[in-house]
A and B are shown apart, each in its own frame.
Chain A
Amino acid sequence: MDTIPEWVTWIGTGIGAMIAAVVVRLGWKAGGGQKLSEGKPFVMDAALIDNAAAHKLAASIEGLTFQLQHLMHDAEKDRKIRYELKEQAEQIGREFSDLRRAVSDLANQIARKG
């Protein structure tokens, strides 16, 4: 029995190399859809809510907004009242001053006649 003829070896190796090249190409193409090495992992924080919860949230915010508006209105009224009270107090103060001056003048007249 002889050893394998050289031409059999070469042809067999050539055919095997071609088959291997086709296999590598098929594998390379199959792996092309998922590149993981170039991407960086990222974290996404999110909350999923349904419609009903979103509506409730919107209604609560609207209610709070109305209350806030009422409070602001009341606060404005209080401010106006305080301002008027201050004005009236100043007016009363001025009138007291006038009254004191008038009483003082009257006292001086009485003293001069007496």
Chain B
Amino acid sequence: MIVGRIRERFRDRLSEWFCAANMAWAGTALLHPSDTFTSPAYQAFRRFGEDATGWVIGSLGLLWLIGLIVNGSRQRGTSTIRLVCALVGALGYGTMGIGFGYGAWQSGIMNIAGGTYMLMSALALYSLYWIAVDKRTNG
């Protein structure tokens, strides 16, 4: 039954699934024993601490995924979870976009990641909008 509910809403919530999965993956990658932030591309983020960033982003991504899976039977609670996760995701992606943009500005070398993460932030804002609509409509 849960699979059926997920399937029928999957298309509507595709942006959420993408952002949540991406955040979960980003957290997992940062928690990998190799020090990602030592890479020159990530130099702008060193102030944030790799493990702390990994735990926060990964946990929120996982929580968002759980909220999407459970949503049908616990509408009120999970819509709040989705709202918070989308909000933090939008801020997180925006921060990463700023970081990569700052790195490109400092080094004079354009990178793909800056614009990509800003677009991801816009996608998370789009998800945030529809989560707010869903929450107002269905609780």
- Which A positions have Cβ atoms within 8 angstroms of B? 1-4, 6, 8-9, 12-13, 16-17, 19-20, 23-32, 34-37
Which of A6, A26, A35 contacts B47, CB < 8 Å?
Answer: A6
CB contact list, B56-101 vs A, under 8 A: 83, 87, 90-91, 94-95, 98-99
- Which B positions have Cβ atoms within 8 angstroms of A? 40, 43-47, 83, 87, 90-91, 94-95, 98-99, 102-103, 106-107, 121, 125, 128-139
Interface contact A28-B45, CB-CB below 8 Å: no
Q: Known: A27-B129, A30-B133, A32-B136. Contact between A16 and B91, CB under 8 A? A: yes
A-B contact count (CB 8 A): 87
B40 to chain A, nearest CB (A): 7
The CA of A34 and the CA of B47, in the complex, are separated in Å by 45
Interface contact B95-A1, CB-CB below 8 Å: no
Interface contact B91-A1, CB-CB below 8 Å: no
Main secondary structure of the interface of A (DSSP, over half): helix
Closest to B41 in A: A1
